[in-house]
Amino acid sequence: MDGPRTIDAIYAYIVVNDDGTEHVPAILLPEWEDVRHPVLLPLVAADTARMNALRRHIVSDPQLKGKTIKLAKFEQRQIVDVIERRDDR
């Protein structure tokens, strides 16, 4: 990749619940299971390469067996907040 990249789309795996509602699943990172504070990773990314890397977690998660799982792409960018961090407190 050359230079900075603007995020123009977000991809998310979406699980369809039995009642028709949807949610973005999160996985416990397997390599972090033994740490004091487990890390949950929502299955969201800014490019398809990362989503393809996360796909293995979707297809192997026993809690998602029998569920419909969709890969969605969100392209409408709207800035709703800007946080300016400064070194002075």
Mean pLDDT along residues 56-60: 87
Burial environment of residue 43 by CB neighbours within 10 A (0 to 12, 13 to 18, 19 or more): buried
- Lookup: tokens for 19: 């009642």
**If you average pLDDT over every residue of the chain, what do you get?**
86
Give whole-number Cα distances, 22 to 9, 53, 85, in Å: 20, 22, 34
Per-residue pLDDT of 19-46, as tens digits, reads: 999 999 998 876 656 667 777 889 999 9
Instruction: Look at residue 78 and tell me whether its pLDDT is greater than 70.
Output: yes
Distance of alpha carbon 28 from alpha carbon 63, whole angstroms? 12
Residue 6 confidence (pLDDT): 87
Distance of alpha carbon 77 from alpha carbon 64, whole angstroms? 30
Mean pLDDT along residues 56-67: 88
